[in-house]
Structure 1
Amino acid sequence: MTLRPILAICGTTGVGKSKLAIELALAFSNAVHTNNDGTRHPWRGARIINADAMQVYAGMDILTNKVSLDEQCGVDHLLMGFKKPGEQYVVGQWIRDATEAIEETHRRNQLPIVVGGTSYWMQHLVFPGRLVSSFDESDADLHEQTSSAPDEPTVASEQLYQAMAKTPHDLLQLYNNLPDVSPSAGTEPEAAYTLHSLLASLDPAVAARWHWKDTRKVLRSLQIIKQSGRLSSDIIHEQSQTSSEPRYRTLLLWLYARPEVLNPRLDRGLLKEVEELTTIAATQPETVQDAELSPEMDCTLGIYQSIGYREFSRYLNTPDSPERERNYVDAVERMKTATRKYAKRQVRWIRNTLLPVVNAANTATVQSGSLPVVPTYLLDATELDSWNENVRDVAQRITRDFLGEQNLPDPLAVSNVSKEMLSISNKTAE
């Protein structure tokens, strides 16, 4: 079966992903619909599908870096700002909604452009079947699965049996009586920490992936162990050993800026985000109250996971005093640090997790005599003064050739930084 094409744009926060997506969408809306070889292609414009886990929520547009209506330039933006701030929305739900949006866009003979900084979502959209069972389920789905499961005990694997033998008795009692719904780290910190301690005792590799306050993922991990009789880490490792065929023929564009240039750019952008937080606190105190913006709030749920909420909670809840000013300075510095660390994690995920899966898929298709199924290009967005030359024009040329199924340029030769960042060890990633 011929795979339908999509464009996917990934990269760190603040690097210009939305800008490029809109430029490409407008180019294909206004261009003559012919390929470089003179043949016609069917695409009549494009639609943008959001792949940022925080931009799916309504509100806090500056804090979550949403593009404004004016900046959207009339291009449809789907899966953006449509969830309530405190609503849970996980990867499996997004994949379902994104595939529906892509199918609808293809039916319109328009090109889907998936763009966002949550590369984890994007990877599992393009490469299906790599999510561990139940990791993508909501609490309600998880409760329905476990409450309707048969009472017959699952036979434990040897690895799980050995882990259980070393687990304290009180934690084993918790394992045998797992809660139906994850406890709130804000209101039930002891229960949340104990739940994570149980996971750390049984499966330390997976426990290290989740903060103890991220009780939903901790509980899912434990439910997976209990239902399957196997350690989650063993299941993940087993899945990582098998290559996954992509769901779409995907052109992956990775926007990248060198940290020494990006970090000051991020710092300047934070000023607007800080202004938004303080303005809302001053003019809409009910919003702060509704959001439970307090030191005890649950920062693992909905939009409250955004960088800024946790960092500014103490400042916004401190009465006017010298301490409030100190809290403000501290919050700004912690927000800068959190943003830079997040950008590092985004790059690390792309290089260590996404690219190995992409390379494995491309190797398989090339060996079968076909073109790479997920051609991937790094575009150097370090110098904003050279954006058109280094980013926009290169992206448009590659996209036209991709849609026309023409031979594409060598990804390592597109820019000086491409060879450095795209060259990775041939390891299998999760």
Structure 2
Amino acid sequence: MTSILKTSLATLRNMSSKPLIVICGTTGVGKSKLGIELALALSAKSENYPYRGARVINADSMQVYMGMDIITNKVPLEERFGVEHLLMDYKKPGEQLTGPEWIKDAINAVEETHSRGQVPIVVGGTSYWIQHLIFPERMASLCKSAEESPGDKQTPLPSEPLSNALAALPPELLSLFDNLPEQAPTADLDPQLSLRLHKLLAAVDPLVSQRWHWRDSRKVLTNLRIIQENRRLASEIIEEQSRITSKPRYRTLCFWLYAQPEVLKPRLDERVDQMIAQGLLDEIKTLRAIATAGVGPESQSPANESPQMDYTLGIYQSIGYKEFHEYLGAPEPSEAAFRLAVEQMKLGTRRYAKRQVAWIRNKLLPAVNAANAESQAECGQSIVPMYLLDATELGEAWKTGVLDIGNAITKAFLEGDPLPDPSTLSQTASEMLAVRDRPTDPMAVLSANRRMICPVCTTDPDQPVMVDGVKWEMHERSRGHRRMTGRDKRLPRSPSAYKDVEAALNSEDGPDT
């Protein structure tokens, strides 16, 4: 364990020296399989080995829900080979689970696993959760409610900036602040409330309001709740976080399973076909029944009507649920509607995989690199070594390129032996791990991601067209923007067209840079 002992006290400050293994990546690359295989290998070690096996901790935001095994792509029980899986199947389909709540549960699961002398292996595609589990002090809503017990809660006096902002609010917005809705409205179903919430956030905390589109009512409401519960502006909390160096919670080994897109896409399409053959539509019908019966947050329609769907909440975000809504809700579903739903589900799955890669490269990897750069300067080693394992090919190639390498690196990590340079594992690893430096300081991230209102494309001041600042030049070159400026006289002006342009520009399906 010599390399562990070399780690400086400064590097270990605020970090447990006990190990954590993380497996992240897109859907369809074998994350769950690798987690199970690593756990089985650790369980087969001799009694003299420092660790007595391992447990898998689920980090997939859809697999936390009970049942619905097909739509959430859970590994069948018989394929887990006795490996215990935590934080899976522990929420009812109608319930909501926030990131801070999962992180609190995950910390408890990690600590319990450590207390048993076992290694926790976090596996999942929700990289946002994984990143905030590894790096504390970076999620504002954790500052209070998620980490305090009920007996600890006291209502502090509001900060001076918040007091001043509240004093300047008109009565209707002050009333809204004091009586925030339990559920975030859906912008399509209730645009007026969505706009009022964003207007309130803009009046109270203009810096943070620029980060979120008014249609992203869930994020807007979350920030208002952070302000309400902490009695401080969200921007105050973010500024405070910026002054804190985020040390990893644990000595972490991170595996990123990656497959080349041209190979992964047909694999994902085939997976959708398999899910349908296994009974996907029956699960979706069950979810629709839950929503209609009033178990979940979507029950806004009479029992004899199709429920009004909010696809941003809980398990209802699962790919396939929204895509088959029209087909299953039709009095006489057609074959054409079925084929369209299948294609939409395949497209949604491919887009999700693309977003997963983008998050890892744009968010998680820069945070890992920043932590490793600091620890390299302090003690000459990476504190969160991250390895890309090439899962492009399955079968024997997956065994040698993913499983065998993963087992060897895990053994070296746990035993304190020297680790290989991550960029040397493969050409793909060298290319994908080479990302340009991005800001990890919370205030810098906030400033870099602010949204701008386009006065040219905004036809209704109450529903402004908002564009991500980094996409502003692309917006100015867009056909919709040119129409509004009168450069393209051939096409009629249609407000709906600009809404489509706005949606396209603000989607998360951009380039993986």
CA distance in 1, matches of 2:177, 2:292: 38
Of 9, 23, 38, the residue aligned with 1:9 is: 23
2:370 equivalent among 355, 360, 370: 360
1:311 is paired with a residue of what secondary structure?
A: coil
Match of 1:95 in 2: 103
Aligned partners of 2:284 and 2:321 also within 8 Å: no
Task: Give 1:272 deviation, angstroms.
Answer: 3.0
CA 1:70–1:247: 2 relative to 1, 3 Å: same
**For 1:200-243, what per-residue CA distance to the aligned partner results, in whole angstroms no more than 9, with x for missing partners?**
6754765654673643x322212444677876456436635643
- Verify: 1:222 aligned to 2:236, yes or no: no
- The percent identity for this pair of structures is 48
Structure 2 counterpart of 1:315, which letter? Y
CA contact (8 A) 1:41 1:403 kept: no
Shift of 1:180: 5.3
Instruction: State whether structure 2 residue 378 is matched by structure 1 residue 375.
Output: no
Following the alignment from structure 2 to structure 1, what is the Cα–Cα distance between the partners of residues 202 and 326? 30
Q: Which residue of 2 aligns with 1:31?
A: 45
**Aligned: 1:255 with 2:260:** no
SS in 2 for 1:133: helix
Asked if residue 51 in structure 1 is aligned to residue 52 in structure 2, the reply is no
Q: Which residue of 2 aligns with 1:273?
A: 275
- Deviation string, structure 1 residues 128-168 (Cα, Å, up to 9, x no partner): 11111368858xx99x97xx746x6643289x97x999x9x
Distance of aligned partners of 1:331 and 1:206 in 2 relative to their CA distance in 1, 3 Å threshold? farther
Do residues 133 (structure 1) and 141 (structure 2) align? yes
Whether 1:179 aligns to 2:187 is: no
Rg comparison, structure with higher value: 2
Give how far 1:311 is off. 1.8
Partner of 2:426: 415
Q: Which structure 2 residues correspond to residues 156-175 of structure 1 after superposition, within 5 A? A: 156=161, 172-173=173-174
**Counterparts of 2:64 and 2:284, CA distance in 1:** 22
Aligned match of 1:394 = 405
CA 1:337/1:137 → structure 2, altered by over 3 Å: closer, same or farther? farther
TM-score w.r.t. length of structure 2: 0.71
**Deviations, residues 100-132 of structure 1 (Å, cap 9, x unaligned):** 211221222211111001111111111111111
Aligned equivalents of 2:212, 2:143: Cα separation in 1: 13
Match of residue 236 from structure 1:
238
Residue range with higher mean Cα deviation, 299-308 or 116-125: 299-308
Quote the Cα distance in structure 1 between the aligned partners of 2:285 and 2:159: 55
| 1:284 Cα offset (Å) | 9.2
Partner residue, 1:307:
319
CA drift of 1:305 comes to: 1.6
Uncovered stretches (5+) of structure 1, i.e. residues with no partner: 34-39
Aligned to 2:439: 428
Deviation of 1:332 (Å)? 2.1
In structure 2, give the amino acid aligned to 1:401: A
Within-5 A mapping of 1:188-203: 188=190, 190-199=192-201, 203=206
Taking structure 1 as the reference length, the TM-score comes to 0.84
User: Which of 315, 319, 343 is matched with 2:353 structurally?
Assistant: 343
Give the SS at the match of 1:57: coil
Q: Which deviates more, 393-402 or 371-380?
A: 371-380
Contact 2:29 2:257 in 1 (8 A): yes
Q: Distance in 2 between matches of 1:136 and 1:300?
A: 24
Q: How much does 1:297 deviate?
A: 2.1
CA–CA distance in structure 1, aligned partners of residues 172 and 269 of structure 2? 44
The SS at the match of 1:44 is: coil
Inter-partner Cα distance in structure 1 for 2:176 and 2:72? 37
1:182, distance to aligned residue in structure 2 (A): 3.5
Cα RMSD after superposing both structures: 3.4
Q: Report the equivalent of 1:37.
A: none
For residues 20-49 of structure 1, what are the alpha-carbon distances to aligned partners after superposition, in whole Å with 9 as ceiling and x for unaligned?
10111111112346xxxxxx5311211101
Q: Is the CA contact (8 Å cut-off) linking 1:183 and 1:191 kept in structure 2?
A: no
| Distance verdict in 2 for CA 1:282–1:400, change over 3 Å | closer
Structure 1 residue 65 displacement after superposition: 1.0
Name the SS for the 2:136 alignment partner. Answer: coil
Question: Relative contact order: is structure 1 or structure 2 higher (C-alpha 8 Å, sep ≥ 6)?
Answer: 1
Residue 415 (structure 2) aligns with: 404
For this pair of structures, how many residues does the alignment match? 411
Name the SS of the counterpart of 1:113 in structure 2.
strand
Report the alpha carbon displacement of residue 350 of structure 1 after superposing the two structures with TM.
1.0
Any conservation in 2 of the 1:281–1:288 contact (CA below 8 Å)? no
Task: Tell me how far apart the structure 1 counterparts of residues 290 and 236 of structure 2 sit (CA, whole Å).
Answer: 44
Match of 2:435, SS? coil
Q: Distance in 2 between matches of 1:210 and 1:47?
A: 39
Question: Partner amino acid for 2:53?
Answer: G
In the other structure, the counterpart of 1:319 is 331
Deviation at 1:192, TM superposition (A): 3.3
* 3-state secondary structure, aligned to 1:112: strand
| Aligned-partner SS, 1:310 | coil
